[in-house]
Amino acid sequence: MKHFLLLFVLFAFLGDAKPDYNLLVGSWMHKNYKDTPDTAIFSFSKDSILTLEMFKGETDEVIGSINGRYSINKKENKLFMEVLGRPKTFNILVLKKDVLTIKNITDNKDAQTFERIERK
């Protein structure tokens, strides 16, 4: 019985663990962005600058690049991004070393999963 209680407390503790938000800094890629053959790369810097780059799916040519700002509400596990003056709020569903899954709650979109990439 003592072991069962210890196991229960351990699972409760791990279930409430917040992600390491420092893992967000870096570049994240999502292929077939918004059901297109294109690739989106979000880069988050330490100074709260967000860069979004789009690449054409077939050729990897740059379609465009834009900067914005981001912030994190750690208490609510939310990511706020503002690009072209349009704010968006996302729930952070998964934030691990190599995987980021966010859900756009501003526009009620499906969750999207990004994989970390190392930029040259």
Q: What is the pLDDT of residue 6?
A: 47
Tell whether 61 is covered by a domain. Answer: yes
**Residues whose CB falls within 8 Å of the CB of residue 63, separated by 6 or more in sequence, listed in order:** 38, 54, 55, 56
Tell whether 90 is covered by a domain. Answer: yes
What does pLDDT average to in each consecutive run of 10 residues of the chain (120 residues)? Answer: 47 62 95 87 96 90 95 96 94 96 96 90
66 with 84: CB under 8 angstroms?
yes
Q: What is the pLDDT of residue 120?
A: 64
Q: What pTM did the predictor assign? A: 0.79
Q: What is the pLDDT of residue 113?
A: 95
Q: Locate tokens 């292929």: which residue?
A: 31
Q: What is the pLDDT of residue 9?
A: 46
For residue 79, the domain's CATH number is 2.40.128.370
Tell whether 14 is covered by a domain. Answer: no
State which residues form the domain around 25. 20-117
CA distances from 97 to 16, 30, 85, 87 (A): 18, 15, 30, 26
Instruction: Please name the amino acid found at residue 75.
Output: K
Q: What is the pLDDT of residue 1?
A: 54
Domain count of the fold of the chain: 1
Tell whether 39 is covered by a domain. Answer: yes
Q: What is the pLDDT of residue 17?
A: 64
Tell whether 5 is covered by a domain. Answer: no
